[in-house]
Amino acid sequence: MMWIAPAAAVASCRLSCTSLRIISRGSPTPWPWLFSVRCVRRVSSIPGTTPKEVTIEKDKVYKTDEWMNTPSTILSAIPRRLHLQQDHPIAITRQLIESRFPNYKCHNTLFPVVTVEQNFDSLGFPADHIGRSRTDTYYLNKDTVLRTHTSAHQADTFRANESAGYLISADVYRRDAIDRSHYPIFHQMEGAMTWDRDSLDASTSLKQAVWADVAKIPAHSIDVEDASPTSHPERNPLQECHSAEEVEAIAAHLKRSLEDVVVAIFNAASRAAVAAGETPASPDEPLKVRWVEAYFPFTSPSWELEVFWQDDWLEVLGCGIVKQDIMSHAGVPNRLGWAFGLGLERIAMLLYSIPDIRLFWSTDARFLSQFSSAAPIRRFVPFSKYPTCFKDVSFWLRSSSSAAGGLSRNALSPVDFHENDVMEIARDVCGDLVEDVRLVDEFVHPKTGRKSLCYRTNYRSLERTLTNDETNQLHERFRQQLVEKLGVELR
Ligand code: FA5
Ligand code: MG
């Protein structure tokens, strides 16, 4: 368990307003996370006061610059590392998945602050890729970010070349939507498997070696929808240096390995449902899984795996055949193979029937006491559902703003409006008391051409009933911050 030092953070801010100190210690957390972050001076990602440096975990000091947009609420959660906390559902989910990849080397303690080179350049993200923008990524300075995905460690891990297969589990950070399946900090597991052309014996081709490995993956009987061809010349192309037969074999190994994970999760979830007195075959409904084509700058062809959950398709992972350039730059040009990245929260939600991603951050014993790595998986029993309260806010954008959510991606100019800034303000003002924020109306004035947006905020605590006064105050602060930080005009 980690200890966050709010007092130190407050002290350092009061003294200079230029640095933040987030310290982790090996003792239990004395305060719930929400309490501790409230004590930390808030650093806005949107125009506002920025500390000159941040210190993370005692000795890692980062100079900030005008790219800094990481709020203290995010920095103070870095030491939590839910994937390493004994008996936490994220850690148990990680262990369950790791058990399906017995010979893969596991890396679980890689540090979350990485370079722009690691997070983007090494993976071939184009200079104008949307993911690089300050509206999407938490920067400490121009060259340093909180990793947005575990793929940030792909090139280094391939370069180290310690094992044919590896898994990396870690905390990742994104400025993103607010709803029940998105959180600005979440946990990913990266997996990769590669085969070395040079170490095959003369009578075995690479595709034969791969198919031999496919045969070792346990068979399953679920019906997985996979409507697209393995590759498509325009939509999902093969790489020039790979033959269609090689990719067919590697894709089969990848998909079968991941289907095996989903089946293991579903079986554990079904057993948990039976233990809870529900119908064996269908805890909620039969397992529905499908492969869909996808795009990532660092794999081709690429796919996503979706699972039908709570009346909709939930994306649980992205994957594909690793771009050969990455292997070449990592000094292992003769290796080829696959990689995937999955969201541990999303899998844990399926496994335990956890309805809201915010719950993972709860330090409430009513939540934490329900999980144990020593006992079989049990369904999560909601300790209570507290009332929700919807409130709308409508505003005019500044006349110079463009609200495309895709313009001026790397500019430091605060003029363009981006929805993620609304989300960030909601999180900053309300913390985990906001369940959901979504755009419910959009309108362009026929004469002035000015654009108006209406967002609906759903306030609900996971731990208690919010009073009317409290919700009204939160909403009023949210409205005022929208004006102050985004320059919008309330309607
Ligand atoms: C990636 O992050 C790629 N790095 C995955 C990858 C790895 C592709 C290796 C190819 C090879 P994506 O942005 O789709 O992809 O995120 C992967 C998974 O993380 C998603 O499928 C979802 O399960 C989870 N995820 C994404 N955003 C959030 C969020 N805000 N909150 C919780 N989970 C999220
Ligand atoms: Mg995705």
CB atoms within 10 A of CB 279: 10
Q: Which of 196-200, 250-254, 306-310 has the lowest mean pLDDT?
A: 306-310
**Which tokens in the block code for residue 462?**
């996971």
- pLDDT interval class at 279 (50, 70, 90): low
The whole-angstrom separation of Cα 245 and Cα 251 is 10
- At 285 the pLDDT is 59
Q: Strand 451-459 to strand 335-343: parallel, antiparallel, or no bridges (unpaired)?
A: unpaired
Q: What is the model's pLDDT at position 50?
A: 81
Q: Show the 3-state SS of 445-483.
A: CCCCCCEEEEEEEEECCCCCCCCHHHHHHHHHHHHHHHH
Q: With pLDDT > 70 as the criterion, what percentage of the chain qualifies?
A: 85
Q: What is the pLDDT of residues 92-105, one digit of tens each?
A: 999 999 999 999 99
Read off the pLDDT of each residue in 327-332 and give the average, rounded to a whole number: 98
**Beta-carbon contacts of residue 300 (< 8 Å; ≥ 6 apart):** 236, 237, 238, 239, 320, 321, 323
pLDDT category at 273 given cuts 50, 70, 90 is confident
pLDDT of 196 > 80? The answer is: yes
Residue 189 has pLDDT above 80, yes or no: yes
CA distance 194 to 210: 10
The mean-pLDDT minimum among 62-66, 246-250, 395-399 falls in 395-399
Q: How far apart are CA 104 and CA 261, in angstroms?
A: 14
- Kindly give the distance from the C-alpha atom of residue 60 to the centroid of ligand 2, in angstroms, as a whole number: 31
pLDDT band per the 50, 70, 90 thresholds, residue 48 = low
Token readout for 92 is 């148990």
**Residue 344 Cα, ligand 1 centroid: separation in angstroms?**
9
**CB contact set of 450 (below 8 Å; sequence gap of 6+):** 396, 397, 399, 444
Band the pLDDT of 402: cuts 50, 70, 90.
Answer: low
Residue 271 per-residue DSSP state: H
Asked if 394 and 441 count as a contact pair (C-beta separation under 8 A), the reply is yes
What residue's CA is closest to ligand 1, atom 15?
318
Hey, whose CA ends up nearest to atom 21 of ligand 1?
317
Nearest ligand by distance to the CA of 342: 1
Tell me how far apart the alpha carbons of residues 377 and 475 are, in angstroms, rounded to a whole number.
Answer: 39
pLDDT higher than 90, residue 409: no
The ligand whose atoms approach the alpha carbon of 172 most closely is: 1
Task: Tally Cβ neighbours within 10 Å of residue 237.
Answer: 11
Residue type at 172? V
User: Using an 8 Å Cβ cutoff, are 187 and 349 in contact?
Assistant: no
pLDDT at 24: 32
Evaluate if residue 63 carries a pLDDT over 50: yes
Ligand 1, residues at Cβ distance < 6 Å: 149, 151, 174, 176, 182-183, 186, 188, 190, 296, 299, 315-320, 339-343, 345-346
Question: What are 101-122's pLDDT values in tens digits?
Answer: 999 999 999 999 999 999 999 9
- Rounded distance from Cα 314 to ligand 2 centre (Å): 10
> Is the per-residue pLDDT at 45 higher than 60?
no
> How far away, in angstroms, is 185 Cα from ligand 1 center?
12
pLDDT tens per residue across span 442-461: 999 999 999 999 999 999 99
**pLDDT the model gives residue 383:** 83
Residue 23 has pLDDT above 60, yes or no: no
Query: Best of 188, 300, 324, 344 to mutate for ligand 1, by most ligand atoms within 8 A of CB?
Result: 188
- Taking the centre of ligand 2 as the mean of its atom positions, its distance from the CA of residue 318, in whole angstroms, is 6
Ranges 13-22, 130-139, 357-366, 445-454: which has the least confidence: 13-22
Burial pattern 47-79, b for ≥16 Cβ within 10 A else e, equals: eeebbebbbbbeeeebebeebbbbbbbbbbbbb
DSSP 8-state assignment for residue 26? S
| pLDDT beyond 70 at 300 | yes
DSSP string, 318-336: EEEEEPHHHHHHTT-TTEE
What's the mean per-residue pLDDT of the chain?
87
Of residues 148 and 3, more confidence is placed in: 148
Q: Confidence class of residue 4 from pLDDT cuts 50, 70 and 90?
A: very low
- pLDDT at 399 (0 to 100): 76
CA distance 259 to 214: 12
pLDDT band of residue 410 (cuts 50, 70, 90) is very low
Give the chain's largest Cα–Cα span: 76
Ligand 1: residue whose CA is nearest its atom 9: 340
Q: How high is the pLDDT of residue 277?
A: 83
Alpha carbon nearest to ligand 1 atom 28, residue: 182
Residue 404 has a pLDDT of: 41
pLDDT band at 1 (very low <50, low <70, confident <90, very high): very low
Q: Out of 37-41, 206-210, 219-223, 410-414, which region has the weakest mean confidence (pLDDT)?
A: 37-41
- Banded model confidence at residue 25, pLDDT cuts 50, 70, 90: very low
Q: What pLDDT is stored for residue 491 in this prediction?
A: 93
pLDDT score, position 51: 87
Instruction: Give yes or no for residue 213 having a pLDDT over 60.
Output: yes
| Cβ-Cβ contacts under 8 Å for 296 (sequence gap 6 or more) | 302, 318, 320
Tens of pLDDT, residue by residue over 123-156, are: 999 999 999 999 999 999 999 999 999 999 999 9
Tokens 């979350």: give the residue. 112
CA separation (Å) from 281 to 219, 234, 305?
Answer: 19, 40, 22
DSSP SS3 for 117: helix
CA of 297 to the centre of ligand 2 (A): 12
Residue type, 194: T
- Average pLDDT (470-491) is 96
Percentage of residues of the chain with pLDDT beyond 90: 76
The ligand that comes nearest to the alpha carbon of residue 193 is 1
- The mean pLDDT value for 327-343 works out to 98
Q: Which of 106, 52, 114, 45 is nearest to 74 (CA)?
A: 45
pLDDT band at 208 (very low <50, low <70, confident <90, very high): very high
**Cβ(40)–Cβ(84) below 8 Å:** no
